[in-house]
Each structure stands twice: as C-alpha cells, then as structure tokens.
Structure 1
Amino acid sequence: MLIQLAILGLLVALLPLTVVWASKDANKFRKLAWVTLFLTFDLIMFGAFTRLTDSGLGCPDWPGCYGHANPVAAHGQISAAEAAMPHGPVTVVKAWIEMIHRYLAMAVGVLIVAMMVIAWMRWFRTARPARPRVPVLPTLLFGFVCLQGAFGAWTVTLKLQPVIVTIHLLLGMGLLGMLTWMAAGQNAHAPVAADGRRLRLAAAIGLAVLMAQIALGGWVSTNYAALACTDYPLCHGALVPKMDYEHGFTLWRQLGMTAGGDYLPYEALTAIHWTHRTFALVVVAFFGWLGHKAMRIDGLRRTGRALLAMVALQFLIGVATLFLNWPLAIAVLHNGGAAVLVVLTVMLNYKANLSAGTRPVRAASSTCPA
C-alpha cells in the first residue's frame, strides 16, 4: 500500500514538474518554487473544503483507506460503513475528498523534496567563492512538511481532536509562509526606500497577530462554533454574551467534549466564536495602519495596497458567513483569504528586510539546474 501511495503522489506531482521542466524560464528553481507555493495554497483551500464538509474521517485510518491506497479498492468497507450510518463520517464521497486531499499533500511533499535536492546539488557542484549559501531554507521546508504530515496522521488517528486539527492548519499556513519567503528570494525586486526598515518590527508583529487570529479561526472551525453567534455586531443580542472560557479554551480534549468527558456547553462555543470575531477588530485596525504606512514607502506601495484591500475583503467575508448561515463556498473562501493574507504579510516582511540592507535568502542561483 505504501508503495502504491508513493507512486500516486509522484504521479500527481508529475504535472507541475512537467510544467517547470517545459518552462522557458532559465531559472527552473524559481519556477519550481512558485509552482510549489501555488499548489500549497490550493492544498490549504482543499484542506478547508475537506474539514468543512466533515470529510476528515472519510477514511478512518492513515495513510490509506481501510488499508488500501484508494477508495476504489476500499469500496466494500466504505459502502458498509455508509449503509450503517448514512450521514456519518464515512461515505463514498467523503472518502474520495479525504484521499484527494492526501494525494495533493503527497505531491506537495514531492515538490519540496525536489527543491531540496536541487538546492543541495547546486551547492555541492559550485566551487568557492561562487558557491551560494548553504540551502538551509529548502532543508527546513523538508523537515516542516514531514512534521505537517505527522499532524495530518494524528488528525485522523486522534479523531479530529480540535487542538491537533488547529495545529495542522497553523503548520499549513507556516509552510505557505516559508515557501513565500523562498519564492520571493528568487525574484528581482524594486528597490525599497530606506524608510522601509522602520516597518520591520511592525511587519513582524503583523505576522504574529495574523497567525494568532488564524489560530482562533481554526479553533472556531474545529470546534464547530462558527454559528454560535448568528447576529452581528451583537452576539445573542448582547455586546458581551454569557460565555464559558474555561471549557471553551481547554486545549487537550475530544471533539465536542469537555476535558472531563461531558458534552461541551453552548456557552463554551459562544466564547470561542466571540473571541475570534472580537480579535478580528484588532487585526483590521493593526493591518489598516500597517498597510497605510507601507503605501507611503517606495517599493512597498503595491504590497501595502494589496494588504489593505485583502484585510477589508476578509472582514466582509467573515461577516457574510454569519448573515448567510455559513455557506460552504464562502467558508472555504474565508480560509483562502487568510492564506492570501499570510502570503502578503510574508512578502511585506521580506521587502522590509531588504530595505535594511540584508542579503536576500536565495536557495539557488539563476543557473540552478532543473
């Protein structure tokens, strides 16, 4: 089964690798970095779709499906589980959604391995003093994607335990950010005014604030607390509703349960939801200020404008999910908006660091072999 899964991962990765190989871009590594970034973004979107369609346990084992490499071979077991519980976690459709998500994850892993191998080959083949920096970032990406895979496995084996699923989401966003930094390092950038160095600390704080909000959003999603408040800006008709923070933010517990094994009270779901929506106001205010500052600096204007536009759009999407009763398409789009904000914030950090005169992080030069 493991060999079959590895072959499937290679086959899925074959298409983007072919696109990179056939590209007219002389820097194949740069093309590979941007293609991998794009597919990782797609993987995050499809992961959100998997989670929001309750397909995370569509195949209740890992890495295969009932011990098989694909749902076709496991059709008998899946059909039996669906017949026993037609609206349960295991159905034919959910099994396919879950396995497609795993195939995409394996393909991204293959691309990251390819980048690491190419970067190290380039490093070993280039004589000093022309030798590039040791490819630390591609190697870290490999370790990071292995860790992400482990949390993907635990997501299934621990039956969607909220803290595990939330960490899995955060690691996915972290992987996206690291790929953004590496891809940015392969491109030539317009000079950034010296004033840009003043934004280094603010941009770093912005990334930390954004990841905190994504963690809160993941906690909302993994605890199914999205509709704990259906009105806005009030919640249950109150500015500060009745909430249970003790149970809502106990991290190590089973889905829908307290640490003591009782059903999670509704006030706990309210606390989770209200905290996320309230902290969103902090994010909007901070990023509004950060984007405005970036727009006044040469070399950062486009990134600043994009950041302002995306933060406003993301806030509107979040409010729309409440008034439209959390439709699937908009919920997935909300996750995608968070991913776009990660990309933009990392790009702002990268450019602000360039303005300080630091050397770009390059994994390979323009002559890197394909």
Structure 2
Amino acid sequence: MTMQSLLKMTLIFTLTVIIMGAYTRLEDAGLGCPDWPGCYGHLTVPDEAHELAKADQLFPGHEVEPQKAWLEMIHRYIAGTLGLLVLWILILCLRSRDYPNKLPIFISALIIFQALLGMWTVTMKLMPIVVMSHLLGGFTLISLLLLLYLRTRPLRIPGGDPQARRLAPLALLGLTVLVLQILLGGWTSSNYAALACTQLPVCEGDWFDNLQLAKAFSPFQGDHPSFEFGVLDYHTRMTIHVTHRFGALLTAALLLFLAFKLWHKSRSHILKQSAMLLVIVLALQIALGISNVVMHLPLGIAVAHNVGAALLLLTIVFINYALWRKA
C-alpha cells in the first residue's frame, strides 16, 4: 500500500471516529461502559449470566445497557484501529527520507493524548471541558492528517496565483474563527445546551437580560457524581446556545467573504473549486444548524452537523495550505 493510499484510509477512519463519537454522545451512551478501556471489566459488552454477575459486583448500582455499551465499545474499537494506522504511518515516515518526520511524530503524540482524553471522559463522568477537548482533538487530528497527505503529493498551481496568495492572512483568520466556533459547538453539546433555545432567529423569552456569560464559560462546574445530561441551569445553557448562534453568524459571514474574494482573485481552477466547495459546505452546515433547532435535534441531523463541521474545517485547512505554501 502506498503512503497516499494509507493516508486516505486513515482520513476515512478518523472521520468515522468523529461520526461515532458524535453518535455515541448524542445517544447519551458516553457512559455506556463505566470503565476504560474495557466494558464492565470485559473486552466486549457482557451478556452472559456470569459476566453480568461480575459486572454487578465490580460496578454496583450500574445497569448494563447493551445498546449504549456497544456504541461505546465500537467507538473504542475503531479508535484503536486508527491508532494502529497512525503507528504504521509513523514507521513508514521514519524509515524514508521522502516523507516528513516531525509532523507524523506530533500526530502520534496527539493520538496518544486523545486516548487519554477518551479515558478521562469516562473516568471524569463526561466533564464538559474534557468532552470538548476530546472533540477538538479529533478535529485537530483529521486536519493534521490532511496536511500530511498534502505534503506527500505535489500541489501545482500554474503561475503560483499571486493575487490569490494575498488572501492568505484572511484565510488564516477564517481558520481561527472557525476553530473557535467548533469549540463553541463542542461546549454547547457537552453542556447539553443544544435545545436551550427552540425559536429562530433569537431565543425565546427575555433572553438578553438573562445572559450568564461568566458562568456559562467557566471550565470548572463543581464536583458532581456525573455530568451526564448537564449540571448547569437553564439561563446558563441558554447563554451558551445564544453565543454559539452569534458565533455561527460571524463565522458564516467571514467564510462567505473569503470564498467571494477567493473566487474573484484566483486564476487557478483548483482555488476556484475550493471557493465553490467552501460555499456549498457552509450552506449545508447552516441548513443543518437551523434544522437542529426547528426539528428539536433529530439524531441524524445532529450527527451530520458534526460531520459538516469536520468537512468545513478540512476545506479551510486545504485553502490555507494552498495559499501559504512556498511557491
């Protein structure tokens, strides 16, 4: 298998892990297994009588819910396979002078840290700051894998397209704002604030006078037996939700401006295609966000919203790579 084929497969696995992570979280299965890396002391979900008896002995008060437990374990199996793929990439890169070395080492370190965050997500009972960090780690991982893939294949833009390259600072700003918006989305999800507002375009009631900004974005929420289903009051969750909405407006406006400028300034076909792709993915993401509110967070659309964020990030990463690369 060539390096490019291996990286493509790893990118697909990473996106699958992101999808499964979102699905597991939205199905409230993040604590389907109360231990890590196994499930109730087993490598699979216990279902035999003696296994269930052992699970009850090890974790009294916890009832084995097979559907949630299997979701959690499938997510772990896929993540473990992804770790092996990253290790394979690292070995190939270290053994060849044709590939980068530093980036694969960093990616490998990141996936180890991701595993730790996965463990802490369970052991710290879905503490929002840990859940959000785990989500951000997944998005960072897929972005770095895309960068590594791009660095293993030549990207040729005829003439270098100097007019378009002047948009590099704007593209970097767009990437920064998008990452902050993804963080807001992760914070909204991990605090179960996605349905804190059910009206459009603004929140119902006297929302402006009830904003709790300091409390909403404090990483420390006290000691609780579990953070499942959230521990914040309504006004605090509403604040998080409203901030995510305003962040979406700002992000959309900036990325649309970037796409417009890129379309008009670039001469190369690949950059024009990137601008068009940015508009399409952004429009889809906005539609999914609105649908989540109007339709009260249906599972399929909520998962698709996470996927849309990943695709949007990959598009912006590619645009930045194309504009900032050495001519």
Q: Is the 8 A contact 2:256 2:279 kept in 1?
A: yes
Q: Does 1:248 align with 2:216?
A: yes
Q: Does 1:174 align with 2:140?
A: yes
Distance 1:239 1:61 in 2: 39
Distance 2:294 2:56 in 1: 38
Q: How does 1:126-137 map to 2 (within 5 A)?
A: 132=98, 134-137=100-103
Equivalent of 2:319, from 316, 324, 348?
Answer: 348
Give the match for residue 48 of structure 1. Answer: 22
Q: Is the 8 A contact 1:207 1:342 kept in 2?
A: yes
Give the match for residue 158 of structure 1. Answer: 124
Q: Does 1:118 align with 2:92?
A: yes
Q: Is the 8 A contact 1:109 1:145 kept in 2?
A: yes
Q: Is the 8 A contact 2:285 2:305 kept in 1?
A: yes
Give the match for residue 257 of structure 2. Answer: 289
1:219, distance to aligned residue in structure 2 (A)? 0.6
Could you tell which deviates more after superposition, 212-221 or 89-98?
A: 89-98
Q: 1:338 to 1:65 in 2, by over 3 A?
A: same
Q: Is the 8 A contact 2:11 2:145 kept in 1?
A: yes
1:325, distance to aligned residue in structure 2 (A)? 0.8
Could you tell which deviates more after superposition, 262-271 or 136-145?
A: 262-271
Q: Which amino acid aligns with 1:218?
A: G
Specify every segment of 5 or more residues in structure 1 that has no aligned partner in the other structure, as ranges.
1-20, 22-27, 124-131, 358-370
**Residues 117-165 of structure 1: CA deviation (Å, up to 9, x unaligned):** 0111113xxxxxxxx4651111111011111111111101000000000
Q: Is the 8 A contact 1:170 1:215 kept in 2?
A: yes
Q: How does 1:199-238 map to 2 (within 5 A)?
A: 199-237=167-205
Give the match for residue 68 of structure 1. Answer: 42
Where 1:300 maps in the other structure, the secondary structure is: helix
Question: Alignment RMSD, CA only?
Answer: 2.4
Q: Is the 8 A contact 1:210 1:342 kept in 2?
A: yes
Could you tell which deviates more after superposition, 209-218 or 65-74?
A: 65-74
Equivalent of 2:294, from 320, 323, 327?
Answer: 323
Distance 1:180 1:76 in 2: 43
1:196, distance to aligned residue in structure 2 (A)? 2.7
Q: Which has the higher relative contact order, 1 or 2, with Cα contacts under 8 A spaced 6 or more apart?
A: 1
Where 1:112 maps in the other structure, the secondary structure is: helix
Where 1:66 maps in the other structure, the secondary structure is: coil
Give the match for residue 114 of structure 2. Answer: 148
Q: Does 1:38 align with 2:12?
A: yes
**Residues 211-247 of structure 1: CA deviation (Å, up to 9, x unaligned):** 1001100111000001100001021145735222232
Distance 2:92 2:140 in 1: 22
Equivalent of 2:154, from 188, 194, 198?
Answer: 188
Distance 1:256 1:293 in 2: 49
Q: Is the 8 A contact 1:40 1:108 kept in 2?
A: yes
Distance 1:67 1:226 in 2: 33
**Residues 93-122 of structure 1: CA deviation (Å, up to 9, x unaligned):** 110000000011111110000000011111
Q: Is the 8 A contact 1:162 1:254 kept in 2?
A: no
Q: How does 1:356-367 map to 2 (within 5 A)?
A: 356-357=326-327
**Residues 325-360 of structure 1: CA deviation (Å, up to 9, x unaligned):** 110000000000000011101111111123x42xxx
Q: Is the 8 A contact 1:79 1:91 kept in 2?
A: no
Distance 1:78 1:245 in 2: 45
1:186, distance to aligned residue in structure 2 (A)? 2.4
Q: 1:202 to 1:302 in 2, by over 3 A?
A: same
Q: Once the two structures are aligned, what percentage of the paired residues are identical?
A: 36
Distance 2:203 2:216 in 1: 16
Tell me which stretches of 4 or more aligned residues in structure 1 moved more than 4 Å: 77-81, 254-257
Q: Which amino acid aligns with 1:283?
A: T
Q: Does 1:108 align with 2:82?
A: yes
Specify every segment of 5 or more residues in structure 2 that has no aligned partner in the other structure, as ranges.
none
Q: Is the 8 A contact 1:54 1:89 kept in 2?
A: no
Where 2:30 maps in the other structure, the secondary structure is: coil
Q: Does 1:264 align with 2:232?
A: yes
Where 1:308 maps in the other structure, the secondary structure is: helix
Distance 1:228 1:241 in 2: 15
**Residues 265-317 of structure 1: CA deviation (Å, up to 9, x unaligned):** 21001001000011100000000001112222123111111011111110111
